[in-house]
Amino acid sequence: MRISQTGIIVALMTASKPQSPCISICTLDEHDVCMGCYRSLNEIIDWTMMSDDEKRVVLANVAERSAQQNQAV
């Protein structure tokens, strides 16, 4: 059984300590969004300084971007 990327993101969001969605595919698109984890460049840079709640907001944004990308394909 294959776990969807959205399922992985939800698991990262609901963990007691939010985990980075980085999958080591570090390539930015024309909008400065990583094609691997769907974080913006600023979200990547600021990640280590964010509170857990801020990280959860970023992960929600990541889930939305991922879903939009999957619809476009």
Q: What is this structure's pTM? A: 0.78
Model pLDDT, residue 16: 81
30-40 confidence digits (pLDDT tens): 999 999 999 99
41-55 confidence digits (pLDDT tens): 999 999 999 999 999
Q: What is the number of domains present in the chain?
A: 1
Give CA–CA dist 54/69, Å, rounded.
23
Residue 40's DSSP bridge partners are 33
Measured from the Cβ of residue 34, the count of other Cβ atoms closer than 10 Å reads 21
Domain with 51, as residue range(s), is 5-72
70 falls in which pLDDT band (50, 70, 90)? Answer: confident
Give CA–CA dist 32/44, Å, rounded.
10
Give CA–CA dist 56/62, Å, rounded.
10
Model pLDDT, residue 14: 67
